Amino acid sequence: MIVADRKPLKELLEMVEDCDKVLILGCKGCVTVCNVGGSKEVGILALTLKIARKKEGRLLEVSEKTLERQCDPEYVDEVKDIVDGYDAVISMACGVGPQFLSERYPEKRILPAVDTTFFGGAVQHGIWEERCAGCGACGIHHFGGLCPIARCAKSLLNGPCGGSADGKCEISKDVDCIWDMIVTKKMKEGRLDELLMLRPPKVWTTARDGGPRKSVREELVQ
């Protein structure tokens, strides 16, 4: 899923500084699963903003709504009759949501409530980790099913750097050295030789480096 973190409240309060009436829009997709932008979090943010503004002696009117998804025009359409009534719309979806809203409602101020961080999953309740960098050309089968592009701090493709120690990355003891895991796995499998061949430079054209990307499925396009 796409993982995100809520923005600092100070930043959000600054964004709505000159607003009297805002709509907070949650999303039932990824951000609900990672507990950052679902209906529950919409409720918490609404109350928090109201408390903060009441404390300042300036009421903020806040409405709450959570859409099925914010990355589909049909769901984004659902608020077409109400957005006009607000000074701004705060999206709690990943970075895609506020942009779909901005494009659908060009006259409206759309504010992001979360910092979108990575493609990952929950390794335990309350802890998410990055797994994929969306490079556009998956090659994890070369690396024991583990991705060094996303998970090595230097995106190395030919083995661990000199900073790997006790299975941890040189940048932090909290980060696993993915190359340690890859090497250990290949050794156990008796396929270490696969790691001894030089992996050529990555072709980055399919990644963000090739410019903004688009995916077209002819069989679906009407």
Partner 1 sequence: MRLSYPSNVKIIQLPCSGRVDILHLLKAIEDGADGVYVAGCLEGECHFLTGNLKAKKKVQYVKKILEEIGLEPERVEMFNLSSGQGPRFAEIATEMVERIKKLGPSPVKLEKAA
Partner 2 sequence: MTDLKSGSNLEKVLKAGHFAFTGECGPPKGSNVEHLKKKAAPLKGVVDAVNVTDNQTAVVRMSSWAASTILLQEGVEPNFQMVCRDRNRLAMQSDILGVYAMGIRNMLCLSGDHQRFGNHPEAKNVYDLDSMQLISMVKKMRDEGQFLNGEEIDVPPKLFIGAASNPFADPFEFRVHRLAKKINAGADFIQTQCIYNMDKFREFMKMAVDMGLHEKCYILAGVTPMKSVGMAQYMAKMVPGMDVPESLVKRLRGAGKGKVAEEGIKFSLEQIEEFKEMEGLAGIHLMAIEWEHRVPEIAERAGVLPRPKV
- Nearest one of 208, 96, 192 to 149, comparing CA atoms: 208
Q: Which is nearer to partner 1, 42 or 183 (CB)?
A: 42
Instruction: Answer yes or no whether residue 165 interacts with partner 2 by CB under 8 A.
Output: yes
Instruction: Answer yes or no whether residue 198 interacts with partner 2 by CB under 8 A.
Output: yes
CA contacts within 13 A on the Cβ side of 201: 3
Encoded tokens for 80 = 């077409």
Q: What string marks each residue from 44 to 83 as x (binds partner 1 by CB under 8 A) or -?
A: x--xx-xxxxxx-xxx------------------------
Phi/psi of residue 62, nearest 5 degrees: -130, 125
Specify whether the CB–CB gap between 186 and 145 falls below 8 A: no
* Cα gap 95→122, rounded to integer Å: 20
Phi/psi of residue 47, nearest 5 degrees: -65, -40
Instruction: Answer yes or no whether residue 117 interacts with partner 2 by CB under 8 A.
Output: no
Q: Which is nearer to partner 1, 46 or 76 (CB)?
A: 46
What residues make contact with partner 2 under the rule CB under 8 A?
Answer: 153-167, 170-172, 177, 180, 183-184, 187, 192, 195-196, 198-202, 204
What residues make contact with partner 1 under the rule CB under 8 A?
Answer: 8-10, 13, 40, 43-44, 47-48, 50-55, 57-59
